[in-house]
Chains A and B, each alone.
Chain A
Amino acid sequence: MDISQVTHHPPSLPPTPLVRIRNLHFRRGERVIFAGVDLDIQRGRITAIMGPSGTGKTTLLQLISGQLRPTAGTLLVDGQPIHGLSRQALYALRTRIGMLFQSGALLTDLTVFENVAFPIREHGRLPESVLRKLVLMKLEAVGLRGAADLMPNALSGGMARRVALARAIALDPMMILYDEPFTGQDPISLGVLVSLIRQLNDASGLTSIVVSHDVNEVFSIADDVYLLAEGRVISHGTPAQLTADPSPWVQQFVAGLPDGPVHFHYPAPPLAADFLGK
């Protein structure tokens, strides 16, 4: 990693992207997940990262949030090299990033209200009455003020995800990472989520990264789309540009064709070799 070159980069000049990834390599054991990814997340926009299951979309979010360390390459978040930061600086940066986990990841022994209050209590010292108003406001934003006193196990999957979203915006972050926000949602929650993501982004000047493989939903809200496959960015542009991209890779994904240049199978030796036991 050539972090030394970038540590003196002036932080947060307006036109610089909020997240800047260059030549990212990442491996899990022997398996190469990323082999040279370049990617920019522009401020104030919704950027979608798409790709088939198992391409490493979740892994990319874990890299951006500093949970994993790249094998090589640079990764700047708001001008700071996230993997060269001290623990304290990393935590300071993370208070400005919200993440919506695939499962919601609510703390199961706290009520909905306490879950949303949790990051605020941890990082600020607000009088209880102010805190209460703030939390109820966040819950109101996701339409769940009435569920404040429920325990997480009493929530449906869609509600849990919205509570998790309220928690993710509790500290008014500069950026929210959404991991597969649309999977497993009924059509109504889906519509609610899609418009919530758009509203939150535009109302509070957030930057959003949406990781997903649901082409329709993503194309309806994203400003910018990156398509990943086999460890690389195979296409990048607005939804309209992607739809018009003649490349068979992109067409396969956008049109949802079962086979094409992107293989449906996890890498494996030829079937005959496995069957014959050698």
Chain B
Amino acid sequence: MINRFIHLGHAGLSTIASLGRASLLLFAIIAGGLTLFIRPRLLIAQLFNIGVLSLLIVAVSGLFVGMVLGLQGFTILSQFGAAQSLGVMVAASLVRELGPVVTALLVAGRAGSALTAEIGLMKSTEQLAALELMAVDPIQRILTPRFFAGVLAMPLLAALFSAVGIMGGYLVGVGLLGVDDGAFWSQMQDKIDFYDDIINGVIKSIVFGWVVTWIALFNGYDAIPTAAGVSRATTRGVVTAALAVLGLDFILTALMFG
């Protein structure tokens, strides 16, 4: 019984210690941000890695999610005779929720895991220590560009996801199920608000980009420098990022739309 409390206490302490280390790392990463103005190439290379290389998976997922929304939305809305509002439903779901959230989950799986493994391996093969000894700050040089690339890429990817998703909803709703073309777009234009919907969605995806990249980088940087350690860190990074995104989504939604 006592042992269980001791165990709980240790787990709690080590979680708090990790949070502390993660915060310190985040400060160091952001403090290094100035280098990106001096060497924009570092940022561009990572924008390519994190952003461009995620385009395909984000676009394809967006298309399918949009098509499913079109189908499901049509079935439900037509029960109330409101099938003409399909465009609003599809666009609102995507822009407010599914775009930022699903994109963040996809990026955590596709790019986040790669970041964790890359940093963890650089640590275990002493590349980070070698940089440090060549008088090059590994945080500034390796982590900072990756972090800002993640923060920048996420809203762009989420926008792409939503746009392709709306096209998917359009294909199914208008193309297959016979919703009126004009009503689909005009109701969407009428009901989707720039600030309430689009800006809030963008804010969400910036927050998610921040959190997903931060968690991925921290887990790599903090990994036990062995093969098993890096593999565990990668799994933990993806799981933590996914939970953090879903939890934060609830909080942000409550603040924005509650």
Contact = CB atoms under 8 A, between A and B. Distances in A.
19 contacts: A67-B133, A91-B137, A92-B135, A94-B132, A94-B135, A95-B134, A95-B135, A99-B130, A99-B133, A105-B125, A105-B126, A105-B127, A106-B127, A107-B127, A107-B130, A108-B125, A118-B134, A123-B135, A167-B134
Interface in A101-115: 101-103, 105-108
Contacts of A123: 135
A30 interface: no
A225 B166 CA distance: 73
Closest 3 CB pairs of A and B: A105-B130, A105-B126, A91-B135
Nearest to B137: A91
A220 B131 CA distance: 31
Given A92-B135, A122-B134, 4 more contacts: A67-B133, A95-B134, A95-B135, A108-B122
A97 B130 CA distance: 12
B13 to A, nearest CB: 16
A160 to B, nearest CB: 11
Contacts, number: 44
B183 to A, nearest CB: 52
B136 interface: yes
Nearest to B124: A103
Interface string B129-160: 11111111100000000000000000000000
A74 interface: no
Interface of B: 122, 125-127, 129-137
Contacts of B136: 119, 122
A119 B131 CA distance: 9
A122 B125 CA distance: 21
B145 to A, nearest CB: 13
Nearest to A101: B126
A67 B125 contact: no
Interface residues on A, range: 20 to 34
Contact of B129 (A91, A97, A101, A118): A101
Contacts of A65: 133
A196 to B, nearest CB: 19
Nearest to A96: B135
A67 B135 contact: no
A97 B133 contact: yes
A107 B134 CA distance: 12
Nearest to B126: A105
Contacts of B129: 67, 101, 105
A103 B126 contact: yes
Contacts of A102: 126
A126 B33 CA distance: 25
A103 B135 CA distance: 19
Interface in A82-137: 91-92, 94-95, 97, 99, 101-103, 105-108, 118-119, 122-123
A180 B131 CA distance: 19
Contacts of A103: 125-126
A107 B141 CA distance: 13
Contacts of B135: 91-92, 94-95, 119, 122-123
A101 B130 CA distance: 8
Contacts of B133: 65, 67, 94, 97, 99
B127 A119 contact: no
B144 to A, nearest CB: 15
Contacts of B125: 103, 105, 108
A193 to B, nearest CB: 18
Nearest to A62: B129
Contacts of B122: 108
Nearest to A90: B135
Nearest to B132: A67
B56 to A, nearest CB: 22
